[in-house]
Structure 1
């Protein structure tokens, strides 16, 4: 059965917690969060990003999450809250769902993404 991108987004958003910009800022002050920016490299290079965030482009996430992969990123061993960020929140919600599917816990995505961050 075919599934649409909208259905994938709805499923991810139903299963994964979203947080607001104010919630993220509070977590950052307490140093209890790892912010994962899943935008493409050119987006992150040419547009603002959240200070202290880690870049992990969405195209390689499954490999970055997997400790058995040669591309595994150590940051994903952290016990802090993971908050995924993209331009608007859509890719971040899908990335967070993938992280959950692969066994990561304590995850969320930034509702509204960088647009919401920059508007705050």
Structure 2
């Protein structure tokens, strides 16, 4: 994990492997900041959807039980959201480096769309 100190706050940049391991152990809340259309087409199973245009850092839950990790398609939007959370007074927040593209490239499972039926289906990477 990389970290960046911004004032008295800490931005954590997690690798896909770090996120996958923490996700499997139920240690994090994974928040997808992509569009609803991107999410409907394919997403990490169980990740919550909070699209960037609707993001309000002041409404985020506390992190006493599970750490919040944001992700997007490539890591750009999740970095932006994480920095907005820090600006709103959250003292530590994380995002996944490389985004969903890196997740898929690592061969990790996700929910995709069956192009023949339009139905969601589990894709094992």
Q: Report which of the two structures shows the higher radius of gyration computed on alpha carbons.
A: 2
Match of 1:54 among 48, 65, 76: 48
Query: Structure 1 length as normaliser, TM-score?
Result: 0.73
Larger relative strand fraction? 2
Q: Point out which structure has higher relative CO (alpha carbons under 8 A, 6+ apart).
A: 1
Match of 1:77 among 62, 73, 79: 62
Coordinate RMSD, CA, aligned: 1.8
Match of 1:102 among 88, 110, 116: 88
Pairing of 1:11-50 with structure 2 (within 5 A): 15=6, 16-46=11-41, 48-50=42-44
Query: Structure 2 length as normaliser, TM-score?
Result: 0.70
Contact 2:12 2:92 in 1 (8 A): no
Are 2:103 and 1:117 aligned?
yes
The runs of 4+ residues in structure 1 deviating greater than 4 Å are none
Aligned-partner Cα distance in 2 for 1:116–1:14: 24
Q: Which residue of structure 2 aligns with residue 7 of structure 1?
A: none
Larger relative helix fraction? 1
Where does structure 1 lack aligned partners over 5 or more consecutive residues?
1-12, 67-71
Aligned-partner Cα distance in 2 for 1:27–1:77: 18
Q: Which residue of structure 2 aligns with residue 69 of structure 1?
A: none
